[in-house]
């Protein structure tokens, strides 16, 4: 048994977790049609299905408004070793996609957490309500307690809401450390009033919301929200998301 311990430990260390690779593209305003055509061609050629399948989103608001997000996954780190990254793939990406941008492509690898998310049913992706947080250093434990309290409110008050939690595996200095994404099928949902404070106190007890806000302030630096629209015509993967693929 003692001899097996190092082997078991190594096996645990090598256990892979699901990732999404996001590349944010800033289009050249004069080449938007060429960029979309290039993305469509590239995805049909190299990212049509499986772990390397990709979707494209268009950002509707905020400082990144008008930019595109190319998203591959869910995949594993080992997928990067197995996928075709040869000259044909890279040359096509550079000539058909990057050539029609302003030369700025920001890449992030997001670790998806199934146990902290809710993909309890199949659905068609349409809009993503993306909430991005800049986490404060050395306050991970407090931040996780904040998430757990929010997740409990969602479980009791929004049981049918599809959402995912994602941590940036290699965060930089741009404040994109954590993302909470609500998947919505109609912009009418954005017209709903802010019922969260009331729901929070119904779940956690009267007078608990101010203390919750204090913990949010202690564990985060800043946050911002964006709406992403799925671009079916230029994506490799279709709109359908299967619950079993997110478990």
Each residue's pLDDT tens digit, 18-29:
999 999 999 999
**Residue owning tokens 């099928």:** 185
Name the H helices within 116-228. Answer: 140-157, 196-204, 209-219
| pLDDT at site 6 | 47
| pLDDT at site 45 | 96
Each residue's pLDDT tens digit, 193-237:
689 999 999 999 999 999 999 999 999 999 999 999 999 999 999
CA distance 146 to 131: 14
| pLDDT at site 14 | 65
Average model confidence (pLDDT) across the chain: 92
- Please give the C-alpha separations between residue 180 and each of 55, 81, 133, 226, in angstroms, as whole numbers: 18, 28, 8, 11
Upper half-sphere CA count for residue 16 (Cβ side, 13 Å): 10
CA distance 237 to 53: 6
Each residue's pLDDT tens digit, 82-102:
888 889 999 999 999 999 999
| Domain spans of the chain, in order of start | 14-246
pLDDT at 12 over 60: no
CA distance 82 to 89: 13
Other C-beta atoms within 10 Å of 241: how many?
A: 17
* DSSP class of 59: E
Query: What is the torsional sign of CA 59, 148, 123, 55?
Result: positive
Which CATH class name applies to 14-246? alpha beta
Tokens describing residue 194? 């802010």
Q: What is the mean pLDDT of residues 110-139?
A: 95
């Amino acid at each position: 048994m003692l001899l097996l311990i190092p082997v078991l430990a190594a096996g645990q260390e090598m256990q892979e977790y699901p990732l999404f690779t996001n590349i944010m593209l800033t289009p050249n305003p004069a080449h938007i049609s060429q960029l979309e055509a290039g993305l469509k061609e590239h995805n049909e050629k190299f990212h049509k299905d499986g772990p390397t399948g990709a979707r494209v989103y268009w950002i509707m608001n905020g400082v990144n408004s008008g930019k595109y997000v190319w998203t591959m996954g869910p995949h594993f780190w080992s997928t990067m070793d197995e996928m075709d990254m040869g000259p044909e793939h890279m040359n096509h990406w550079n000539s058909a996609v990057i050539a029609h941008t302003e030369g700025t492509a920001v890449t992030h690898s997001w670790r998806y957490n199934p146990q902290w998310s809710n993909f309890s049913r199949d659905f068609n992706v349409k809009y993503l309500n993306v909430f991005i947080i800049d986490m404060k250093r050395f306050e991970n434990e407090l931040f996780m307690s904040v998430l757990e309290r929010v997740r409990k409110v969602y479980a009791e008050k929004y049981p049918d809401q599809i959402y995912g939690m994602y941590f940036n595996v290699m965060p930089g200095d741009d404040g994109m450390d954590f993302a909470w994404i609500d998947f919505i099928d109609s912009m009418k949902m954005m017209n709903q009033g802010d019922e969260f404070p009331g729901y929070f106190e119904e779940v956690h007890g009267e007078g608990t919301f101010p203390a919750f806000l204090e913990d949010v302030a202690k564990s985060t630096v800043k946050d911002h929200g964006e709406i992403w629209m799925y671009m079916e015509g230029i994506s490799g993967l279709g709109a359908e998301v299967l619950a079993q693929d997110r478990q």
